[in-house]
């Protein structure tokens, strides 16, 4: 949501200096938020810049040259990283993509169906269910990891891909978001009209409501994707086979190799940099669905 606001604000801020008739007083007012935002951006981007620069340094240069002086070892770092234990890094990357992609997709599907049901249908206990969900939103997933492990151990599912995927499918936050969004975006008149035309409930949901819900679901998908991509504790407890590790866990094993071996800082830094690339790409691609959000709003009114 905040991104939407940002997008709307951006052109406005950009045009202000360009407009001829804009009085200088207005520009001075805009200065404070601009500077604040710039400082905020700097605060967020500086560590990223550090990772970018550090990933170009060879092991020898890493701690000895000036922090923001680019090094000469990027290609070698990537090569070393790819060669580490027979390319297990790319396996981790693939695993992360699977966990985050499939996990987010499944969880979005579940959120869509349950959010729709909670928003459209009136049934006994609806508010109770919703309140329990709200409590679930407040519950950090971290504290659930160990109980989930013990439960999955009972059905012999630990150390499998399913052990990481299953607990992620039901996301209270996703359901909550889907309900709120559906309530706002799908007018009950539309549902009623569908019923009048004797469309089945499933048809109403899949053909009429779902397209209206897409922008909200994209948000759910994105949140879930990022959350799973960055998830650490759940896979850490569930998995013991490093061929199934997601990237967060893989990088952790690179860092913690015991005191006998030199720490693979350069590999970890390069690995961390490459690990955020898919996230950035995803945001860039999916942004246009958020623009759709604005469009569909216009059509409705």
Partner 1 sequence: MPFTLRRRLRPAAATAVAVALGASTLAACGSSDDDSEEAQSGPVSLTYWTWAPGMDKVADIWNKGPGKKAQIKVVVKKQASGDTLVTKILTAAKAGKAPDLVQAEYQALATLVSNDVLADISGEVEGVDKEFAPGIWQQVTLGSDAVYAIPQDSAPMAFYYREDLFKKYGLEVPKTWDEFAETARQLKKKDPGKDLTTFSANDSGLFAGLAQQAGAKWWTVDGDKWKVGIDDAATQKVADFWGGLVEEDAIDNQPMYTPAWNKALNTGKQIAWVSAVWAPGTLTTAAPDTKGKWAMAPLPQWTEGESVTGSWGGSTIAVTNDSKNKAAAAKFSTWLNTDPEALAALVKEGGIYPAATAAQTGDALSQAPEFFSNQPDFYTEAAEIAKNTAPAAWGPNVNVAYTTFKDAFGKAAKNKSDFGAALTTMQDATVADLKKQGFEVAE
Q: Considering the complex, state which of residue 157 and residue 165 has its C-beta at the smaller distance from partner 1.
A: 157
Query: How many Cβ atoms sit within 10 Å of the Cβ of residue 275?
Result: 21
Q: Considering the complex, state which of residue 33 and residue 87 has its C-beta at the smaller distance from partner 1.
A: 87
* Residues 268, 256 contacting (CB under 8 angstroms): no
Closest to 170 (Cα-Cα) out of 127, 218, 224, 214 = 224
113 token code pair = 């169906």
* Closest distance of CB 169 from partner 1, Å: 21
Q: Considering the complex, state which of residue 171 and residue 266 has its C-beta at the smaller distance from partner 1.
A: 266
* Closest distance of CB 270 from partner 1, Å: 15
* Closest distance of CB 165 from partner 1, Å: 18
Q: Considering the complex, state which of residue 253 and residue 287 has its C-beta at the smaller distance from partner 1.
A: 253
* Closest distance of CB 192 from partner 1, Å: 51
> How deeply is 266 buried, as exposed, middle or buried, from its count of CB atoms within 10 A (0-12, 13-18, 19+)?
buried
Q: Rounding to the nearest 10 degrees, give the CA dihedral for residues 195, 199, 200, 205.
A: -80
What's the CA gap between 245 and 215, in Å, rounded? 31
Those residues whose C-beta lies under 8 Å from the C-beta of residue 82, and which sit 6 or more positions away, are 89, 90
Within 13 Å, how many C-alpha atoms sit on residue 241's CB side? 10
Q: Considering the complex, state which of residue 130 and residue 232 has its C-beta at the smaller distance from partner 1.
A: 232
Q: Considering the complex, state which of residue 139 and residue 150 has its C-beta at the smaller distance from partner 1.
A: 150
* Closest distance of CB 249 from partner 1, Å: 8
* Closest distance of CB 103 from partner 1, Å: 22
* Residues 223, 174 contacting (CB under 8 angstroms): yes
Query: How many Cβ atoms sit within 10 Å of the Cβ of residue 272?
Result: 16
69: left (phi over 0), alpha (psi -120 to 50) or beta: beta
Residue 20's SS3 state is coil
Q: Considering the complex, state which of residue 66 and residue 202 has its C-beta at the smaller distance from partner 1.
A: 66
**Which residues are near partner 1 by CB under 8 A?**
59-60, 63-64, 85, 146, 149-150, 153-154, 158, 236-237, 240-242, 249, 252-253, 255-263, 265
Contacts 24+ apart (CB under 8 A), 201-206: 205/113, 205/116
* Residues 194, 203 contacting (CB under 8 angstroms): yes
* Closest distance of CB 37 from partner 1, Å: 30
* Closest distance of CB 144 from partner 1, Å: 13
Q: Considering the complex, state which of residue 117 and residue 239 has its C-beta at the smaller distance from partner 1.
A: 239
């Amino acid at each position: 949501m905040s991104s939407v606001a940002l997008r709307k604000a951006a052109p406005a801020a950009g045009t202000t200096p360009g407009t001829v008739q804009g009085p200088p007083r207005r520009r001075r007012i805009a200065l404070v938020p601009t500077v604040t935002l710039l400082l905020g951006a700097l605060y967020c981007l500086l560590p990223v810049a550090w990772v970018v620069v550090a990933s170009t340094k060879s092991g020898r240069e890493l701690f000895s040259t000036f922090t923001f002086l680019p090094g000469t070892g990027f290609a070698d770092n990537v090569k070393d990283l790819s060669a580490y234990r027979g390319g297990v890094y790319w396996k981790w990357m693939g695993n992360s993509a699977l966990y985050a992609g499939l996990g987010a997709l499944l969880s979005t599907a579940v959120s869509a169906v349950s959010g729709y049901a909670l928003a459209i249908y009136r049934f006994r206990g609806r508010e109770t269910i919703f309140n329990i969900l709200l409590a679930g939103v407040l519950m950090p997933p971290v504290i659930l990891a160990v109980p989930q492990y013990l439960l999955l151990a009972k059905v012999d599912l630990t150390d499998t891909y399913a052990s990481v995927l299953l607990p992620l499918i039901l996301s209270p936050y996703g359901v909550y978001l889907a309900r709120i969004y559906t309530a706002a975006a799908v007018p009950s008149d539309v549902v009623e009209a569908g019923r009048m035309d004797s469309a089945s409930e499933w048809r109403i949901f899949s053909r009429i409501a779902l397209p209206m819900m897409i922008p909200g679901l994209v948000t759910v998908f994105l949140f879930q994707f990022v959350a799973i991509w960055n998830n650490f504790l759940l896979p850490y407890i569930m998995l013991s086979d490093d061929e199934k590790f997601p990237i967060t866990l893989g990088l952790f094993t690179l860092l913690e190799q015991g005191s006998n071996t030199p720490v693979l800082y350069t590999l970890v830094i390069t690995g961390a940099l490459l690990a955020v690339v898919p996230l950035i790409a995803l945001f860039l691609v999916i942004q246009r669905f958020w623009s759709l959000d604005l469009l569909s709003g216009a059509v409705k009114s």
